Chains A and B, each alone.
Chain A
Amino acid sequence: MRLGKVKANITSTIKNPYLTGEKIMVVEIINPDGTGTGKEVVAIEKAQAGIGDIVLLMDEGGSARMVLGKDRAPVRAVIVGVVDSINLKKEV
């Protein structure tokens, strides 16, 4: 799993039927120290996250389908948690 920052909300009507009813958001992948990597992914939201939140992002298809409970859903990234705090020991 990776850390991400929610950047935007996506509205899309025409989509794969397995994605109906799912909230879709743009998430930028960040480093544990909070700096951005510039890499953005589209993720299904499953943890009541909002724009600006630091989130736990699962970027793997098999587990993503397990979270959704739909074994033929074409997904890869799912937001599975909203991060409250990060404690990071500085590398020596």
Chain B
Amino acid sequence: MKKFLPLIIFAILVIVPLMGLSTYTMHLLILVLTWSVIGMAWNILGGYTGQVSFGHAAFFGMGAYTSGMLYLHFGISAWWGLPVSIVVLTALSLIIGYICLRLRGAYFALATLALGEICRVTAENLVKITGGNMGILINERTWVEKTWFFYIILLIAAATYILIRIVIGSKLGYCFVAIREDQDAAESLGIDTTFYKTISLCLSGVLTGIAGAFYMNYMGYIDPSIVFPLFDISIVVVMVVMIGGAATFWGPVIGSIIMVFLAEVIRSLPYIGAAHQTIFGIILILIIIFLPNGIVAGNFFKFLTPWKMKWRQKKASL
């Protein structure tokens, strides 16, 4: 039964647009799915490989701007941004990786934070290329209704989930976790830590970039403060994964659900609206103190159990 849970959830989600939900609810669901992708992507690098990034906005924004600039400068549909961002984000990840992955722990976190901010300020200043603070506006919306947007992001999220399950259960997954647990030991056991950390970063960056490219197409408007901000994207994704549970498959998804709905609830409260970051900050502090391993907490090695059981059953039946 547990094995089929993901399929069941997917099936339910497929039917959702047909249930006649309001535009607003659909919007929230799309946001949840988008954040799930970003969260799952961050989780590869942060949760599984142990390299905590405070600069994921750099990847998200780069993906969004790839889409936007294709439209702005070449007049082609921004949807081309999704495949193109894979190439662009791989390049960006390699650069960021080259600079930052040699650093450990908190130094790495700070360096990614700095790089995220550099991306933001650069986007603000290179007005001719990015449109600066005016941002990029797409005049022709692809669809007015949310339905197809929903299906696209659902597909991306599902593909991301499957990809992560495959990767984590494989040699890559073991290498990632070994690096997280003890980098020196991993290195001594023949794991090329630089190589694997780079792969982890690239996977994480590319997936985040795809989410960014989708966001450009969905919202129709971006500017540096929307897609490159430190607190509203880089820190929020850390919160998403922390609330849900780092290094778990469902953690980022649950975290996204909570964060999106929490944000909406807070924003709609009459007096507190402007102070939403204060509330986020307080929540963040409370989570760190009382729930540091998130909701889907517990044994992180147990993610291997379903696979082990399957293998054992197979072996027994041979």
The finding on whether chains A and B are genuine partners in a shared complex, rather than unrelated, reads no
Interface residues of B (CB under 8 A from A): none
Interface residues of A (CB under 8 A from B): none
